Amino acid sequence: MQGIDECLLEAMRLPGARGAALVDWTSGLALGAVGESPGGDQEAAAAEAAELARLAAEQRAFASGPDDTGATAEQDGVPPVEDLILSNRDSYHVLRFVATSFDSSVFLHLWLARAEGNLALARIRLGEMAGRLVLG
């Protein structure tokens, strides 16, 4: 179990990490941020990433289907989308949704330099971090 600061510092130890934030996608507010920020403004980057996260999370086409019991991820308290990956010429943005005991409206945003980063490793590690993150 780890708190927000420990989680974000761990994310910054990933190869190629340029910046990391924990964002509430309903409000667009960063609950914590470290490192650089895309565009130089952490609050603006959080709000813009939240728009993307909200768009994906609210679309049924992207939600996972029911499990063996017939329950959907949302009924189990799990976000309907696991993660989003956005790539551009020089970087990756990985948004990893975090399951919480309340409304599951937060995600980890990792900004990763494409030349130095390892996208597969980042996805795996962000999933592990999201599982250990304690909010409250």
pLDDT band at 67 (very low <50, low <70, confident <90, very high): low
pLDDT greater than 60 at residue 73? no
Alpha carbon distance 80, 119 (integer Å): 21
Instruction: Please report the pLDDT score of residue 90 as a whole number.
Output: 95
Mean pLDDT of the chain: 87
CATH number at residue 32: 3.30.450.30
Contact status, residue 112 vs residue 23, Cβ threshold 8 Å: no
What are the structure tokens assigned to 110, written together? 């990792």
The angle formed by the CA atoms of residues 56, 122 and 114, to the nearest 5 degrees, is 90
Alpha carbon distance 12, 96 (integer Å): 15
* Domain tally, the chain: 1
The 3 state secondary structure assigned to 72-100 is CCCCCCCCCCCEEEEECCCEEEEEEEECC
pLDDT greater than 90 at residue 72? no
Domain, as residue range, for 43: 4-132
Instruction: Please report the pLDDT score of residue 36 as a whole number.
Output: 93
Instruction: Indicate if the alpha-carbon torsion angle 122, 116, 21, 1 is positive or negative.
Output: positive
Q: What is the pLDDT of residues 97-123, one digit of tens each?
A: 998 777 668 999 999 999 999 999 999
The answer for 16, left when phi > 0, alpha when psi is -120 to 50, beta otherwise, is: left
Share of the chain above pLDDT 70, in %: 85
